[in-house]
Structure 1
Amino acid sequence: MRTGFPMAGQGQKIGLLGGSFDPPHAGHLHISKAALTRFGLDQVWWLVSPGNPLKARGPAPLEKRMAACRALVDHPRIKITDFEARVGTRYTAQTLGALFRNYPDVDFIWLMGADNLASFHRWDRWVSIMASLPVGVIARPGDRISARLSPAANRFRQAQLRGRDSHFLPWATPPAWCFINVPMVDVSSTAIRAKGAWG
């Protein structure tokens, strides 16, 4: 394993939460803790991206976002990593390929908020992503209906696990995804930036 990469044991179930984290907030932490419990994960890794290809405006400097993530996270099984910057990937499908090569003995689960599922069909190689690892979707304020009616949800309807079976997701053969409802934390990075509380 290359220096600076997060550590993982053989057979571990690790959830991946990717994003700009511009800035990180209590909602990110909340869904990460929920994912650990509901999906029975060993760890959650925050993949702090150099930038989001779907956003025209660049985020705050990576070093600042990484430091803010570390200051916020208060859980020993939630890890912060700049893996994408280290390996030079920009799109999720590329990042997953690099993760699979570097951690061949780890079982990864992609995590996303319901807002991401609603627009997932706009992601590069989104069908391949669904086919490569299980996906855990966590409810977000105001996005439940749009997520459930999204092109991705419709295309992979037969691959959906019931919420009460969420703990089986890490062992499911992809394509497999599960939508879970958790208590809402109504905060977003966009709203924080709009209030001038970051930057």
Structure 2
Amino acid sequence: MSARLLSKSFGSLAVRTPHTAAGQRIGLLGGSFNPPHRAHVAISEAILKRLDLDEVWWLVSPGNPLKSHSDLAPLAERLEACERIATHPRIKVTALEADLKSASTVVTLSFLKRRFPDLHFVWIMGGDNLAGFHRWTAWRRIATLMPFVVADRPDWRLRALSSPAARALARFRLDDSKAASLALQQAPAWSYLTLRLSPESSTEIRAGRASISASRAAKPR
């Protein structure tokens, strides 16, 4: 997307964002959060510490364009659930993608770079995201907008690090021992962090809830 189109697209939009101060280091964790869970919190808290960030913003998406929306809870419900679970004072819950009227990562990151040129952003993704990153719209452009950090996920490390995107960007990878400087690096730059792994996932939580509901419905009354 060209700078002219970005300016035209964003010029009339009122996009609500957390309060900021010049020079802050901000992590951006996007996703449907359908529902949010303890692994989201654990990843955010670990990355706050490991990358020496000031805040992590949860970008609660109106809907992932790569996923079905058939079991997607309403945005207001997901935001409320995020606020309940994200009790750390430096984790901020936002719905700015709804204000942008877009769930496209390249649009979101481009907007934030233009709106806050004096901040140091880091995009946060999971190992499962890196494995399929080459399928994202304008993924090469995303990699040049800001540094990104990949949080390890159970059973995904090998697939993530051997993925087309990881191979294409291999020369820009920082060792995780240098992750504290990642926010200040010139993009493209990225790091793959080994973290304490949690098996919890939104997909499994939804499946468990559906199974419980089905069992209750099947019981004779």
The change in CA–CA distance for 1:147 and 1:3 in structure 2 (over 3 A counts) is closer
Indicate which of 43, 49, 52 corresponds to 1:40.
52
The structure with more radius of gyration: 2
Indicate which of 165, 174, 184 corresponds to 1:152.
165
RMSD, aligned CA = 1.7
Richer in helix (by share): 2
Kept in 1: contact 2:26–2:53 (CA 8 A) = yes
- Structure 2 counterpart of 1:96: 109
For these two proteins, the number of residue pairs brought into alignment is 199
So what's the TM-score if we normalise by structure 1?
A: 0.96
Runs of 4+ in structure 1 deviating by more than 3 angstroms, as ranges, are none
How far 1:103 moved relative to its partner? 1.7
Partner secondary structure for residue 209 of structure 2? coil
- Structure 2 counterpart of 1:27: 39
- Structure 2 counterpart of 1:50: 62
Q: 2:128 aligned with 1:133, yes or no?
A: no
Indicate which of 66, 69, 75 corresponds to 2:82.
69
Rounded to whole Å, the distance in 2 between the matches of 1:173 and 1:109 is 11
Indicate which of 180, 183, 201 corresponds to 1:167.
180
Kept in 1: contact 2:113–2:145 (CA 8 A) = no
Deviations 1:38-90 (Å, cap 9, x if unpaired)?
11111000000000000123421000000000000120000000000012122
Rounded to whole Å, the distance in 2 between the matches of 1:128 and 1:183 is 30
Aligned-pair identity (%): 46
Deviations 1:91-126 (Å, cap 9, x if unpaired)?
000111111222222111000111111111111100
Instruction: State the one-letter code of the partner of 1:62.
Output: L
